[in-house]
Amino acid sequence: MMREVAVIGVGLSRFGERWNAGLKELMAEAGVAAIEDANVKSSDVEMLFGGTMASGRFMGQEHIAALMSDELGFRNIPAVRIENACASGGSALRLGYMSVASGIHDIVVVGGVEKMTDVTSAEAGTALGGAGDQEWELFQGITFPGLYAMMAKRHMHEYGTTEEQLASVSVKNHDNAYKNKYAQFHKKITVQEVLDSKMVSDPLKLFDCSPISDGAAALVLAPLEVARKYNDTPIKILASEQASDTLRLAARESLTSIKATSIAAQKAYKHAKVSAKDISIAEVHDCFTIAEIMAMEDLGFYDKGKAAKAVENGETRLNAGISINTSGGLKGCGHPVGATGVKQAVEVVWQLRGEAGERQVKDARIGLTHNVGGSGATAVVHIFGRAN
């Protein structure tokens, strides 16, 4: 019999170009905050799962889970690193959830971290390129902006999506990030500024792309049955699901959909006994503006070809039909790849607790996180709700 699982503590470092902070400092900012929020002692923690994608390439540092455990003062507990490209954080959360749900452990810490800004842009691109098919994509010269640009072009061809609609995603997410003290960017932008920004890979401009970021995030999980012993506002994990697709884009059934997202989402809705219409808030993987539009459709929030217009019409802003990427998303808040999936959960927990400040969505009751690895070979979906 699976146990119900709750988030009892959350913590986040500030995202951005953190020149004066290393991996240890970032971990400590997020980890200590989560432990204090959960009202647990270091000695209570029984297991740690740490998500990071490319710390060896970015920092020359491997063995990250042991480093996290050491830095946070957990002694002699099992600690495991999770690498699943940009879905490393979401995958770490899923394994933490499974560990508690199975009854193997009671108090589990899930962390995610990446320190990306200490290398050149070219070196960062090479490190991130490892999330794709080296032989069939990267060796041929394609980049991740190029892969998502092909998706964008096909979406435009099939559904009439416009560059202005892509830009509307970025504008909305920067507006939300402006209200988030942890976000990398605190500057509102306009559709015209996005359109005028430097072309990266047609039709994607600089402001259509998530940035290179440093940052960390952490969660503390516990069985729901004892969660209130530690925290008055535990948030229940209603579902945790994951799916995979082909690594290379050329082998996909469609360029306008990420099948792994659709599969994981439908399984999550079934497990949580909810539908897409029940979701109040969602943190989706907007590594590029087209990715948010595709996610909205693959998650069932909008029919295929309808999401771009919905963003343009303001239907996904704060306190709109469905509030998407209230944190600012990867685009506005930042994208330290190993931390992103955990950060998404931190934001949803704050929203469901009513602790999101200026970003607070009124009467938020059910939230969803959607974390993608590579161009869509991995997708992890979690659904959260208030504990009754």
CB-side neighbour CA atoms (13 Å) of 99: 23
Nearest of 369, 387, 347, 31 to residue 223 by alpha carbon: 387
- Told to judge if 335 belongs to the known catalytic residues of this protein, a careful annotator would answer yes
- Which residue among the candidates 86, 209, 287, 333 is catalytic per the annotation? 86
Nearest of 283, 262, 268, 297 to residue 376 by alpha carbon: 262
Task: Name beta bridge partners: 281.
Answer: 323, 367
Report d(CA 269, CA 145) in Å as an integer: 31
Place of tokens 């002699």: 76
What does the chain come to in residues? Answer: 388
Report d(CA 104, CA 32) in Å as an integer: 24
- Which residue among the candidates 105, 155, 174, 335 is catalytic per the annotation? 335
- Told to judge if 209 belongs to the known catalytic residues of this protein, a careful annotator would answer no
Question: Are the C-beta atoms of residues 378 and 85 closer than 8 Å to each other?
Answer: yes
Q: Provide the 3-class DSSP secondary structure of residue 192.
A: helix
Question: Are the C-beta atoms of residues 149 and 289 closer than 8 Å to each other?
Answer: no
Residue 371's region, left for phi above 0, alpha for psi from -120 to 50, else beta, is: beta
Q: Provide the 3-class DSSP secondary structure of residue 342.
A: helix
| Angle formed by the axes of helices 64-71 and 23-38, nearest 10° | 60
Positions marked active-site: 86, 335
